[in-house]
Structure 1
């Protein structure tokens, strides 16, 4: 309950931050969240959000865990039980099951960009299986269906590069995107979100629905504060039992000691779900508030200083030439051609503190404009690059 209350306050606080420039140097983020009048929880969550949006994945995890990192232990009996579970490729399982589903709801931790990358990896398969509509909690409007890319005013969390890529890929594949955020807190917000999704469904019936949300909005069952979540209330409105997916519980933390014990046991290299001998999928220990499945994400490995999960099959390395950077530190942005001037979302961001830092971007094939900003956030270089 304390975490959920804090997240609500965080969302309200963020409304006044970063409307013009949400991408900051790590040192500037440290200064912005060093407000001694604010709680440690506020500083931790704000820092995690700002680092995430600015492309600092591991630093975002560290900021979050400053407050919410917990060391958990596993009993011997549970350890023996879990070792009998069989890992199954999560993407393959979801796409196979999606054929017989009508509504899929998947969540994210708002500071964990890898969740967006995984959700994006599902898009083509879901579209092939009849899904045509993508609901995004963070969207401010449906204008992205016209522009065909996310901009700074499209939403809050969508300013983060992997979220921008998620939106771009969905639109390119052919999804129609829609917002469903609602006013109010707790129960009122859950009711409002479910009603907004249901209203959209009544007007758009040419396919199935993929809903993307944060944290417990995807959970089914009895919630201590909300009674029912958005997912549960949407089920009541539609008469359809949604296929609900959690990404948050079994994702890595900044320090292995904070990882869920099950995550340490599985030791997987790709996102998986766990199946028992009776082919039943493990969905956690809580049977009052739950999702249908829980994804166990692998521990990130870093290649050339970048998270390995960014290297999807169509992405390529691009090393920024030394001659293009005239001073340090700098922020380097890669925008799809034509989107920078329209305040689009960069496809990737890196921060170089010195000339010795890893200078690799990870980009899909296409035409880009590389924008380099100095410590004063002034553009000191712009050039075009085609990734083949």
Structure 2
């Protein structure tokens, strides 16, 4: 028997954008909040004894879209140290390389292949938003398919994803990040066929790379005239020889198809939670928007490690945030009045598109409010949304609002 959702009218809430508006508030029964409150993440972290506990806490913050906290927790897992180049070396680098807009350069280079592969750090939500920024112009260049490592595959595959238009809680693990939700929603709205390619036979390491590549190869062969964008994790983007896997997924795919992909590496030169730990190269160029480097011959600065490489290294720094969440340029400030809400604090605000099934969908934005206050600000693109507000005791209310 399917679980029923019962909605009761309980009151009113005051919401404001450019002017104050009164909206009906309803109580949502049987809403299961997948996301942990900050205090729950920190309590678990304090009591956890596994060596990778900071990776786990980084993922928990990432899943609720808290970019900065995720980076800070990741720093604790992979501490590193502060490194600075000498003035002489920094000057030499600046004289030999020039900074260029990453998006523009990638779009231009994409014309030379039918396969673009870009990676992400699984803890870093911004990498998903950068890929999202490429979608519209890549689509105009003939890229019609988006392969996502993070989507569940095999018996767990989300068969209705492209029809529904948004991910649900069971579509994958990392896809529960609101920023990943935005990437998937945007791709489907533009017209992409979004598909999974993860291995389905329980293998890892070399065998996993082979299975991933074979799964993508099948999709390429189904649509021989179309171009493909693949969004993968960490080392799967590398060409050449991998120290543990022989070849990564990208290298295997090149071997099996004969297609020379454009490979793009985002993880090495992205900002850290503690900016002192940033790559010294990132500090030298101090970029303010996604950037790439070119030498005097017009060749891209690559990511290289031993005998492996990616064609283009992207530099990410100075990401605009509000309370730890990424702020995008197309978003407007929306003030949500909390004064009349009869809920306990802390509370969590989950924002959905109005077409979404609130019991299943992955939200497009999450914000936590730790203590009682009159209002809070969310940054959202213009549009119509369903708001779900959950207290720590799981009392849940919902209302809809148009942001203009």
Would you say same fold, with TM above 0.5? Answer: yes
More helix by share: 1
What is the DSSP-based 3-state SS (H/G/I as helix, E as strand, rest coil) of the residue aligned with 1:320? strand
1:32-73 CA-to-partner distances (Å, cap 9, x unmatched) read 33444411xx20111111111012211111111102021153
Q: Hey, what's the Cα distance between the residues in 2 that align with 1:26 and 1:357?
A: 20
| Structure (1 or 2) with the greater strand fraction | 2
Does the 8 Å CA contact 2:265/2:303 hold for their aligned counterparts? Answer: no
Kept in 2: contact 1:132–1:206 (CA 8 A): no
SS at match of 1:211: strand
Normalised by the length of structure 1, the TM-score is 0.89
Aligned to 1:6: none
The residue aligned with 1:27 is 39
**Alignment-derived partner of residue 79 in structure 1:** 90
- Pick closer, same or farther for the CA change 1:238–1:339 going to 2, 3 Å: same
Deviations 1:143-171 (A, max 9, x none): 31121111101111000000000000000
Residues 109-147 of structure 1: CA deviation (Å, up to 9, x unaligned): 011111111100000000000000000001122431121
Structure 1 residues 267 and 340 mapped into 2: Cα distance closer, same or farther (>3 Å)?
A: same
1:156 to 2:162 alignment = no
* Rounded Cα–Cα distance in structure 2 between residues aligned with 1:194 and 1:204: 16
Q: In structure 2, what is the equivalent of residue 91 of structure 1? A: 103
Name the counterpart of 1:111: 123
What do residues 209-250 of structure 1 show as CA deviations (whole Å, max 9, x unaligned)?
000000000011111110100000000011011100011001
Distance 2:121 2:170 in 1: 21
Distance 1:147 1:253 in 2: 35
Deviation at 1:21, TM superposition (A): 4.0
- Check whether the contact 1:108–1:115 (CA below 8 A) recurs between aligned residues: yes
Most deviating of 341-350 and 118-127 = 341-350
Instruction: Indicate whether 1:61 and 2:77 are aligned.
Output: no
Secondary structure at the aligned position of 2:144 is classed as strand
Q: Which runs of 5+ in 1 are unaligned?
A: 1-19
Take 2:364 and 2:188, find their aligned partners in 1: how far apart are those partners? Answer: 15
Query: Which residue matches 1:385?
Result: 401
Q: Where does residue 167 of structure 1 map in the other structure?
A: 184
Please point out which of 142, 150, 161 is paired with 1:130. 142
- In structure 2, what is the Cα distance between the partners aligned to 1:285 and 1:224? 13
2:20 aligns to what? none
Distance in 2, matches of 1:357 and 1:87, equals 44
User: Contact 1:87 / 1:275 at 8 angstroms: preserved in 2?
Assistant: yes
After TM superposition, the score normalised by the length of structure 2 is 0.86
Distance 1:207 1:55 in 2: 33
Deviations 1:270-304 (A, max 9, x none): 1000111111111135351110001001222435x
1:325 corresponds to = 341
Provide the secondary structure at the position in 2 that maps to 1:245.
strand
The higher relative CO (CA closer than 8 Å, separation ≥ 6) is in 2
Counterparts of 1:245-324 in structure 2 under 5 Å?
245-286=264-305, 288-303=307-322, 305=323, 307=325, 309-313=326-330, 315-324=331-340
Aligned length in residues? 363
Residue 188 of structure 1 corresponds to 207
**Contact 2:209/2:247 (<8 A) preserved:** yes
Query: Hey, what does 1:229 align to over in structure 2?
Result: 248
Match of 1:8 in 2: none
Quick check: 1:150–1:164 contact (8 Å CA) kept in 2?
A: yes
Query: How far did 1:356 drift?
Result: 4.5
- 1:139 alignment counterpart: 151
- Greater C-alpha radius of gyration: 2
Q: Which deviates further from its counterpart, 117-126 or 27-36?
A: 27-36
Q: Give 1:376's match in structure 2, choosing from 389, 393, 399.
A: 393
* SS of the residue 2:167 aligns to: coil
